[in-house]
Amino acid sequence: MTTRALRFPLALAAALALLAMVSACADKAPLPSAQAPALPQPPKPAEPQNWFRPSLFYATSRNVLDPGMQGQSARYGGLRSRETSYGECRMSLAGTGAGAADRMDVKVGLEHTGRSTRARFLAELERAAARTPGREVLLFVHGFDNSFEDAARTATRIAHGVGFQGAALLYSWPSAASAASYLQDRNNAYWAVHYLKQLLSDVLAARWIDRVHVVVHSMGNEVFIRAYSELADECARAGNGDLRKLRNIVLAAPDVDREIFLDQHAQKLMSQGARIVLYASRSDVALAASALVQGGDYERLGKNVVCMPGLAVTDVSDVKTDLLGHSWIGDSRSVLTDLRCVLTEGCNRYAGKLLQEYVCPPASRYFLDVPGPLDRATSGESFWRLKVNDNGSGPSLGGYRLTLPW
């Protein structure tokens, strides 16, 4: 064999040995690893609610009277704005809570109203919700004849009265705050549906909010029921489960056409798994007057008991905290005691002595095909009457007593 012929196999052997060394080194060297993306961290919970000076978040479609520059308090009017304003109110509370004749003896003031961007508002709302294990938000929507300040005070009375520790939120639509402006308010209630729907979508889509409770009073039900009904339609088409976060809906003295609700909205409200509670009163003079304004033949949903599957009906006719029998939602200790149980996961309203069961008369029953299991409270065959404790000592529900946060 020639020298040249010998060189080729030697070179090949050397090359193979070199490749083996490189391969061995590569086996020992650490392989580059793709770093897993960092998981989003939940927000740090806000400081516990100070019940002497509690905070209240708000969103409003009212016109801006004063933007509150340089630390001044923002102010809102009774006209429409096409741009939603967001922010936080600093409230004040004073009083013992246990007034006579079932009235909640608490004085509520509005100290300061600050404005915020939408993004910051949602971020701070999540931080406040994180104060509770369920990351909860309580939304209040006011009724007819309410200024922004009136609505903020009522929202605070409710949050305080039920001892709500999560994020308390007010949606304020442009009420003229005048008893003579009923028709103007009703038009604005219809107009505000789009803006409340937008707010609900934002809150329900927030990553760090898990449970939302809604309390709606009087004409505010016109705004909420329509907004929620539209969202239910959209969720059914898109398969979006965000509405399942809405755990409890309280319709308090709803100034809504009863037949329109039954025929067009009830099925949609019952279809998303929320607990729906109706507080109605045959003693409600304001709703009787509203029916007359509508033409006399259009009964309001909150005026008398109506029973249907899926709806928990509570008769509060014995509650009398004002002359019209209409504004008890933030004033009655008995109502607030019951409401606290409504908003608490796992609380059985019917286990105590505050509610008494009555068989629903046939004329007040309405058939509705509701999915899911029903119980005595939602069968459509019974309603419950709220007993009023007016001895000034504070109402109790079984072994549970309303405890003031301070």
What is the predicted pLDDT for the residue at 400? 32
What is the predicted pLDDT for the residue at 403? 41
Mean pLDDT of 54-82: 96
What is the predicted pLDDT for the residue at 95? 84
CA distances from 300 to 97, 257, 386 (A): 31, 5, 20
User: How confident is the model over 113-169, as pLDDT tens digits?
Assistant: 999 999 999 999 999 999 999 999 999 999 999 999 999 999 999 999 999 999 999
User: What is the C-alpha separation between 218 and 221, in angstroms, rounded?
Assistant: 6
Domains present along the chain, CATH in parentheses: 55-401 (3.40.50.1820)
User: What is the C-alpha separation between 350 and 356, in angstroms, rounded?
Assistant: 8
User: How confident is the model over 177-230, as pLDDT tens digits?
Assistant: 999 999 999 999 999 999 999 999 999 999 999 999 999 999 999 999 999 999
Residue 357, pLDDT > 90, answer yes
Say which residue, 99 or 360, is predicted with more confidence. 360
Could you count the other beta carbons within 10 Å of the beta carbon of residue 279? 27
User: What is the C-alpha separation between 333 and 390, in angstroms, rounded?
Assistant: 9
Closest CA to 200 of 132, 272, 145, 267: 272
User: What is the C-alpha separation between 284 and 114, in angstroms, rounded?
Assistant: 35
Question: Hey, what amino acid is at 400?
Answer: Y
DSSP β-ladder status, 75-98 and 104-116:
antiparallel
Q: C-alpha angle 390/280/283, rounded to 5°?
A: 60
Q: Which of 18-22, 131-135, 254-258, 313-317 has the lowest mean pLDDT?
A: 18-22
Whole-prediction pTM: 0.87
Its sign, for the CA torsion 188, 193, 195, 199, is positive
In the numeric block, the tokens 């009420």 are attached to 175
